Structure 1
Amino acid sequence: MKNWFISILNKYKQLKIKNKLILTILLIMIGSLSFILVGFQYAFHVYDQQYYQKTTEVLHMSSNQLEKELKNIEEISFSVMTDNKIQRILSEVKKNDNPYERYQLENELWDLLTDYVGSSKYIHSIHLLDVNGVEYRAGGFSSPIISNQKEKWIEIAEENNGANQWVTETDSNKIFVIRKIRAHKNLSLDNLGTLLIQVNLDRIVEDSISEENKKTNNMMISSDTNQFFYKGSSIELEKIPYLPKTKVGYQITTIKSKKYFITHSTSSHVNWVYWNIVSFNSIISKVKTTKYVMVGIFLLLNCLVLLMAIVFSGKLTKPIEQLVLAMKNVQNGNLSITNVLKPAESKDEVGILTNHFILMINRIDRLIKENYEKQLLIKDTEFKALQAQINPHFLYNTLETINWQAKINGQTDISSMVESLGYLMRNAMKMKNDVVPLEEEIFIVSHYIRIQKYRFGDRLVFREEISPNTKNCYIPKFMIQPLVENAVHYALERMMETCEISVCAFLRENILHIIVEDNGPGMEDTLLEQVLKQEGKTKGNGIGLSNIDARIKLLYGDAFGLTIKSKAGVGTKVCLSIPNEWR
């Protein structure tokens, strides 16, 4: 079992995120559906129990209300039986044979009975049978049952000796109260007749049931003979469905292949049993319909959620799949991912990851290109340095020999030129320090200018405007001398007038600015472009302005470097910017 679970778990882990998401949502939906179905089943079971209980209580309440009215009618029957006037009239009728007087007594008796009929809306009619069997009636029409069964009623009354007796007629929905009337004057207990009251049972049942329960009420009443004498239900039953074992209860019974929900309540006043019989299908039909509708809606919603999950998972995992494909391309050495992966517009985690990955690849690609260019620049510089490396000791010794020979012959100018040239060459050959103070770099420039002064004489005017706070700032070695050399080449050599070349240095916002400016003929845009591309050769060591700019950017970043402003007939200005560094 454990191995099986581990195997399933491993297969789940191997699935794609899209399939994992769909499978997880599907499992959640199945679990939810199972829980809902169990919950529905339990809820409907509780509802059924509550319905059964409520129906039983309703029947019990209705039967109590009905018996309350029956007791009231019993009290009326007792009042009629013991009424002094009625007893007097029955006694006189018994003795008096005069037709006129009997007629008067009958009218008086009718008036009395009419009053009693009006005392309860449930009394249909009141009948009195005197000792001679003559019937006196008040109320509704006379029932043939009463006229045809006088002997039966009298016999029943005799058996109960004046006590109240309820008599039912099977399948007629009629009930009767019967009492024997005996004279209570002087406790003679002479027989005066028989009292029979017909009760409107239909009205009592109707009034004893509340409006909200009338639709579900199918009351039936059975007597002690286990026969129905009242049927308010349209359901035809030939016999009592079962014998009640409890006073109040319910049972689900199958009769003629049909299920019925039957509640009963046994009367504590008379030997009757009250029944409420409902077809079981009519009870559960709405419940079943509700259950199926709810389950159908839930399934529909689950299908909709599953469809949305499939669409959503596809949109969610598609950028991830593209990202994985781009990573595979990068893994294979292809940094061009524009055809595979596009910048994401969404700001969610996947979109942020995609954009950051694209940014990272672009930076890696740019760094590779920059590193490649820098390596080429370094190799080119190293090659030119190797070309320029003539045996320095031989060169220094030769220059010293020329210097001493010039001093011996009194050639001070030649001696000064040789000393400046030797200083320049010694500094150029020193590989120990890559950066030097600005003051030292300006000193190198001054030696270079001294040599050029011997060459051009008064045509060269050189000025220095160096702020005192910049002299100790460190700059890369041989940054300014090539710029001055370019000014001599492109300005001084190409004009006959006096050429002014100036070097200016100042600090601004902790950035060192060095400006080399001349008033020469300037450069056209095409010539300026050739200079930047190192196509126009200088008379110096051959390291062009583009190499200086590349060197600065290599050391300090792309924010620093050279800018050149030149205009034909006005002059040229070369601006060098590097961060301020103190050593």
Structure 2
Amino acid sequence: MKLRNKIFLMFSGLVLFLLIIVGIVVHNIFTSANSKEVINKTEDTTVQLSYNLDLMLEDASRSSLALLYNKELINILQEYDKEQPVFYKQSNHVKVFSLFLSSIIFDKEQFYGVHIFTQNGQLFSHMDQFRIRESISLHDQEWYMKAKEQEGGWLTYYDEDPIYYKNSDKEYLSLLRLLRNPEDQKELGLIKIDFSPKYIEEITEQLRSEYWQITTKNKVPILGNKTERMLYECNTNRTIVKDKESNKSYMCITHTSKNTGFTISNLISTDYLYKEVKEFNRFLSWLIGVCLLFSLIISFYMSHYLLKPLELLKTRIRLFQHDKGTAHSAQDEIGELRIAYDGMLSEINDLVTEAYEINRRNNEAEFKALQSQMDPHFIFNTLESINMKAVHEDQFELSDMIVELGKLIRYRLRNEDQQIPLDDEIKFAKIYVNILQHRLEEALEVEWHVEEGTEEILVPKYIIQPLIENTIAHAYNKTAKKVTISICIKREQNKLHISVKDNGKGIEAQRLSEIQTTLEQNDVAEAQQQKQHTTTNNIALVNIDRRLKLLHGEASGLKISSSEGIGTNVTIMIKVGD
């Protein structure tokens, strides 16, 4: 199998495996966290509802006992004994009870009506006669019989048809208590507190489920879906019940009050429970698909385009081996490259020793010849600059310029080493700049940016001054207002960068291409020939580039870039030690 196919299959398989693992982990974490959040919220809502019901019933229970502490009201109720029928109520009795019951219901939104039923069926209430009846047949009422069974304790009753209300078709949840005289325990009547349907609806709407139920401690349903079969199976919290007709599953959330014994049962559809999980699963599947597609594209690119140069190299190696008569076969491209590499190493080792001495002697001779070319070239240009200054400005600064020139000559004659510290080369270039500034004055500005620590690096002689000279020769003319030359020297890892940049007129694209071609060919003879046919001298550039490569290897050299109307930038790169 080709290496390309191996990489494609391996990368695709690895990405697919990682995506599946990540998808499973993320799915499990999100599912667990989301379902727990929904269940916890539902449980909190159920507990809060139970707490509200407890407060409502406890308040109603205390209110139902308030009458037994009022001797006046007890005496009034004794006058309405069932053995002594009374067909009307005394107005003062009505007034006293109305005030008492109004005080009970005051500022209690959970109470709709508070009513006192006497033994003979008379009804005292805080409501007026247009809303409530004068009397009823108390002993015929089911809720009265249930209240008697409690022997003074309270109970709740869901009254679907309260007959004592006029023009009312609502159903009421009520708290009832049989009233007895504290002194002789004789029955006085019954108090019935009806809770507000609106308030009940407000506190139960928090459940927000299709099936819910509230039952008493005797398992009697009083609110919610009182006939739903699944709610009777909801006995344990967080259990799953199933609707056999619709085949839907529900989670049972229950809570039983320790104070009242009321149990709230709430069924949450698993579809609702995992609604967000299903939406997340769809998004996760889409995301995995996109990532997988993207990974396949990357793996195809890596296996095809990135290995294309390797394919070409393999083809050339096969041709080389065929010419040498040493062709070998391997299972893949890497194997063939290894075999070819071993053969090449043996041949290279034989050639290195032979070529080393020859190249060393040739390089040394060529370096000395190239270096000697720079002397007359730079001396003539310098004298020409001094002459132009004296002719045009008629200044006595000529003596200063001659002094500077003397320094240049002494520098040239004193040091015959091939390489010198960078600091010496910079001083030499600055002397040359000083001579030029005597003539050009404010028309020439030279900026030096030398990185600290680079001064002692050894560099070939005459690599900065010729670049400044070329810049003045090509960037400056009589019409130019000002020539700015920026010289930046810095070290980046194992390379020293020397950049000479100007803001001159730049080099034409065709001429720039010719210079770059000459530098690539590294041919000094070609540069000399071009000088005879053009007005531009690029011998210095080729000379510097060649000397750099001879002393510091092919990784060193000179590059030039230019834009017409913007300026020219010449960069020297010298490979230095670590």
Scaled by the length of structure 2, the TM-score of the pair is: 0.49
Scaled by the length of structure 1, the TM-score of the pair is: 0.48
